[in-house]
């Protein structure tokens, strides 16, 4: 498997309690058109997505069970997150936890 490349902006280093990263095409074992896909909703092989997610979250030092996901809809709907979950039809997630 390739090395996982995650973009981690410098500004977040001021807040060590936050884990933040943006995935790139680098990593995992996917080939075009999926590359390092982290979504179960685009037709990629589910086992590959599971492996890619593990690589991604391990690199960030967090457990996937602590992550909230959304089906982004490019709308005005946002959801407050109080525990890890999946949110349908959402454009933003936020928390004070």
Tell me: the pLDDT tens digits for 52-80?
A: 999 999 999 999 999 999 998 989 999 99
Location of structure tokens 């936050």: 18
Report yes or no: 34 and 23 within 8 Å, Cβ to Cβ: no
pLDDT, tens digit, 9 for 90 and up, residues 21-55: 999 998 887 788 999 999 999 999 999 999 999 99
Predicted confidence at residue 91, as pLDDT, reads 93
How far apart CA 51 and CA 20 sit, in angstroms, is 19
Please state, as a whole number, how many other Cβ atoms lie within 10 Å of the Cβ of residue 12. Answer: 12
Tell me which of 40 and 2 has the higher pLDDT: 40
pTM of this structure: 0.85
pLDDT, residue 2, reads 59
d(CA 16, CA 21): 13
In degrees, rounded to 5, the angle at the alpha carbon of residue 14 between the alpha carbons of residues 92 and 93 is 10
């Amino acid at each position: 498997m390739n090395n996982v490349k995650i973009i981690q902006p410098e500004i977040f280093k001021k807040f060590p309690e936050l884990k933040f990263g943006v995935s790139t095409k680098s990593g995992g074992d996917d080939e075009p058109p999926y590359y390092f896909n982290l979504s179960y909703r685009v037709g990629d092989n589910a086992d590959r997505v599971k492996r890619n997610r593990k690589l991604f979250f391990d690199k960030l030092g967090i457990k996937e069970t602590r992550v909230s996901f959304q089906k982004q809809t490019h709308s005005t709907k946002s959801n407050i997150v109080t525990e890890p979950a999946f949110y349908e039809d959402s454009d933003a997630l936020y928390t004070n936890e």
